[in-house]
Chain A
C-alpha cells in the first residue's frame, strides 16, 4: 500500500516535471519567434523613421546628385526593373524547363544524380562568383559589353538554381495518381505535363520564381563585378545601355561621408521594399488564380 502511494507520488512528480519541460520548450520557441519579429520590426521601423523625410516624388524622379536633397533614385529604380524583368524572362523558361526534364522525363540514373547534386551545390555558390563568370562570358567572350543584357544574364546564373530547385519541389508535390489517370485516359506525356502537372505545380513554381526575383532585385555584388556603373545620367532605354541598380545606390549612400546620405539610403531601402512587396502580391494573386483552377 505504501509502495503504491510512493509510486503514484513519483509518477505525479514525473508528469509535473515533464509538463514543465514541455511548457518551457514552448516558451523558448515563443522567445525565438518574438526575437525574429522584434528584429524585423526594429529594422523596418528604424528604416522608415530615418528615410521618411526623403520619401516623395522627388526621390523617385530625380537623377543622382552630390547633394542629398536633390538626389533621387530614378536611374537606379528603372535599372533594377529592367534587370528583374529580363532576368525573369531568361530564368523562368530555362529553370522550369530544366526542372520539367529532371522530374518528368529523365530516368533515374547516376547522370541525373550528378546533375541534381550540382544544381543543389550551385544554389549555394556566393553570388560574386557568378559576377566574375558573367564578366568573363557575357561581357568579354560574347562581347555584350557592360550592358543591362549582360547584367540580366549574370543575375540569371545567380537565380537559376533557385528556380530549378523550387520548381522540382512543386512538380514532385503533384500526386503520381494524377499522371497515371491522365495516361489511362490516353493522354501523351506532353499532354499530361502541359494540362495536368504544370497547372497543378504552378503555385509552387510561382513561389520559387518570386523568391528568385527578390534575390535578383537585392543583389549588388555580382553587378559590381560584371561592371555596373555607379553614376549614370539617364534611365536605360534598351538592353544595350550601361546601367546601375538600386542596391548599388543604397550601398554607396549608406557609406557616404555625408551623414544626410545615410537617411537617403534608408528612403531607397523603403522603395526597394515596396517593389518587393508588390512583386509578392502579384505572385500571391497568380497563386490564388491558379489554385482555383486546379480541381480534381
Chain B
C-alpha cells in the first residue's frame, strides 16, 4: 500500500512541478504562429513552404481552426497572424480592443463560391440569387426541381452545403439570404468541401455550393452554374469574373490579419513581407484567384508605412 501510494505521490508531484516550472514555455520554437480559415490555409502553407528556402531562420506553424476559431485566438493575442475568409466582425474587433491587440489586415487573394450540379443535370444552367435564397432559406417550399421551374423534372433536389462553422457558409448566408433570413436545415452540411463535391458528383438530382478551388480540381465530375444577381446575365465563376468583381455576389477577398505587436519582431515582419510579395504567384498553385498588381502594390505600400511606424518609439 505504502509503496504504491508513495510512487503515485512522487509521480503527481513530478507532474505538478513540471507544470509550474514550465509557465509560458509551451509552443516555443516558433517565430510566426498562424491560425484561422481553412480556405486560406493552402495559401499560408505554400508561403510557409517557400520561406523555408528564402529565410530558413524563420520558424512558422499554421493551424486551421476556421476563421471564427482563429479570430478568437487572435483577439486574445495568442497568435501572430489570423487567416480570414471574411472581414473581422464588430464583436471580434471589440475583443481585440479590450485585450489591447492592435492589428492591420491585407487582402491576399480572392475566392469564389461555386454553385454546382451533377454533369448529368441537363436542365439547369443557372440560377438567380432570388432562386438560391428561396432554396436555402428556412422553411423553404422548394423540395423538387419542378418547384423552381415547371419544365424541370419532378424530382427531389438533393442539397449540399458547408456547415455553420465555415466562412463559406457565413458569406453565402450574408450575401444570398440576407441579415434576417435563417438558413434551411435538414440537408447535407459539412465543413469539409470534399464531402460536398463527392455528394454532388454522385447524384444527378444534387445541388451544392462550396469553395471555387474545389470546383477547379474536380471539373470533370461537376457542372458549375451561372449566377444572376438580377442586373446582368448568368455569370459563371472564372479567375477573371471573380477578380474583376463581375461574379457577384458569391466572390470574396481573403485576408491575413497581422498583430502589430508581433510585427515589431523582424522575423514576423519579414514573413509578412514575403507573404505579400509572393501571394499572387502562389495563389495560382493552390487554385485561389490571385489579387491584381494594384492590390499587391497597395499592400506593399501599407507594409512600408507600418514598418516605419513600428520603427518609431511606442506611443509616437
Chain A residues with CB under 8 Å of chain B are 63-67, 93-94, 97, 100-101, 105, 139, 142-147, 149-150, 189-190, 224, 227-234, 236-238, 240-242, 254-259
* 6 tightest Cβ-Cβ pairs between the two chains A and B: A145-B26, A231-B62, A147-B26, A145-B27, A142-B19, A229-B63
* Sampled A-B contacts (13; CB under 8 Å): A66-B285, A93-B7, A94-B11, A143-B23, A145-B28, A149-B22, A150-B26, A231-B44, A233-B59, A240-B26, A242-B33, A254-B194, A257-B194
Residue of A nearest to B65 (CB): A224
Interface residues of B in 61-79 (CB under 8 A from A): 61-65
Residue B80 lies at the interface, judged by CB distance under 8 Å to chain A? no
* Segment with Cβ contacts to A, from B132-140, B172-180, B210-218: B210-218
In Å, the complex CA distance between A241 and B129 comes to 48
Evaluate contact between A257 and B287: CB separation under 8 angstroms.
Answer: yes
Q: Inside 8 A of A241's CB, which chain B residues have their CB?
A: 27-29
Residue B130 lies at the interface, judged by CB distance under 8 Å to chain A? no
In Å, the complex CA distance between A67 and B214 comes to 15
In Å, the complex CA distance between A63 and B56 comes to 13
Closest chain-B Cβ to A105's Cβ sits at a distance in Å of 5
Q: Inside 8 A of A236's CB, which chain B residues have their CB?
A: 29
Of the residues B11, B61, B214, contact of A231 by C-beta under 8 Å? B61
Evaluate contact between B22 and A97: CB separation under 8 angstroms.
Answer: no
Main DSSP-derived SS at the A contact region? loop
Interface residues of B in 170-220 (CB under 8 A from A): 192-195, 211, 213-214, 216-218
Q: Inside 8 A of A64's CB, which chain B residues have their CB?
A: 45, 49
Residue of A nearest to B285 (CB): A66
Residue of A nearest to B190 (CB): A255
Evaluate contact between B27 and A66: CB separation under 8 angstroms.
Answer: no
In Å, the complex CA distance between A64 and B46 comes to 9
Evaluate contact between A255 and B49: CB separation under 8 angstroms.
Answer: no
Residue B164 lies at the interface, judged by CB distance under 8 Å to chain A? no
Q: Inside 8 A of B214's CB, which chain A residues have their CB?
A: 257
Evaluate contact between A234 and B8: CB separation under 8 angstroms.
Answer: no
Evaluate contact between B46 and A144: CB separation under 8 angstroms.
Answer: no
Residue B42 lies at the interface, judged by CB distance under 8 Å to chain A? yes
Closest chain-B Cβ to A101's Cβ sits at a distance in Å of 6
In Å, the complex CA distance between A189 and B151 comes to 85
Closest chain-A Cβ to B224's Cβ sits at a distance in Å of 14
Closest chain-B Cβ to A86's Cβ sits at a distance in Å of 12
Closest chain-B Cβ to A189's Cβ sits at a distance in Å of 7
In Å, the complex CA distance between A241 and B25 comes to 9
Residue of A nearest to B27 (CB): A145
Evaluate contact between A230 and B64: CB separation under 8 angstroms.
Answer: yes
Evaluate contact between A66 and B217: CB separation under 8 angstroms.
Answer: no
Evaluate contact between A66 and B49: CB separation under 8 angstroms.
Answer: yes
In Å, the complex CA distance between A237 and B29 comes to 9
Evaluate contact between B193 and A143: CB separation under 8 angstroms.
Answer: no
Q: Inside 8 A of B285's CB, which chain A residues have their CB?
A: 66-67
Evaluate contact between B22 and A66: CB separation under 8 angstroms.
Answer: no
Contact string against A for B residues 99-111, beta-carbon threshold 8 Å, 1 for contact and 0 otherwise: 0000000000000
Residue B314 lies at the interface, judged by CB distance under 8 Å to chain A? no
Q: Inside 8 A of B28's CB, which chain A residues have their CB?
A: 145, 147, 238, 240-242
Q: Inside 8 A of A232's CB, which chain B residues have their CB?
A: 61-62
Evaluate contact between B3 and A240: CB separation under 8 angstroms.
Answer: no
Residue of B nearest to A143 (CB): B23
In Å, the complex CA distance between A123 and B33 comes to 34
Residue B148 lies at the interface, judged by CB distance under 8 Å to chain A? no
With known contacts A105-B1, A144-B19, A242-B61, A97–B27 Cβ distance under 8 A: no
Evaluate contact between B8 and A97: CB separation under 8 angstroms.
Answer: yes
Residue of A nearest to B8 (CB): A97
Closest chain-A Cβ to B15's Cβ sits at a distance in Å of 8
Residue B82 lies at the interface, judged by CB distance under 8 Å to chain A? no
Q: Inside 8 A of B63's CB, which chain A residues have their CB?
A: 227-231
Interface residues of B in 27-64 (CB under 8 A from A): 27-30, 33, 35, 41-42, 44-46, 48-49, 52, 59-64
Residue of B nearest to A258 (CB): B217
With known contacts A93-B11, A257-B213, A242–B45 Cβ distance under 8 A: no
In Å, the complex CA distance between A66 and B42 comes to 7
Evaluate contact between B192 and A255: CB separation under 8 angstroms.
Answer: yes
With known contacts A66-B285, A93-B11, A240-B25, A143–B19 Cβ distance under 8 A: yes
Q: Inside 8 A of B61's CB, which chain A residues have their CB?
A: 229, 231-233, 242
Evaluate contact between B27 and A147: CB separation under 8 angstroms.
Answer: yes
Q: Inside 8 A of A229's CB, which chain B residues have their CB?
A: 35, 61-63
In Å, the complex CA distance between A229 and B3 comes to 40
In Å, the complex CA distance between A232 and B62 comes to 7
Interface residues of B in 1-22 (CB under 8 A from A): 1, 3-4, 7-8, 11, 18-19, 22
Evaluate contact between B59 and A234: CB separation under 8 angstroms.
Answer: yes
Residue B313 lies at the interface, judged by CB distance under 8 Å to chain A? no
Closest chain-A Cβ to B218's Cβ sits at a distance in Å of 8
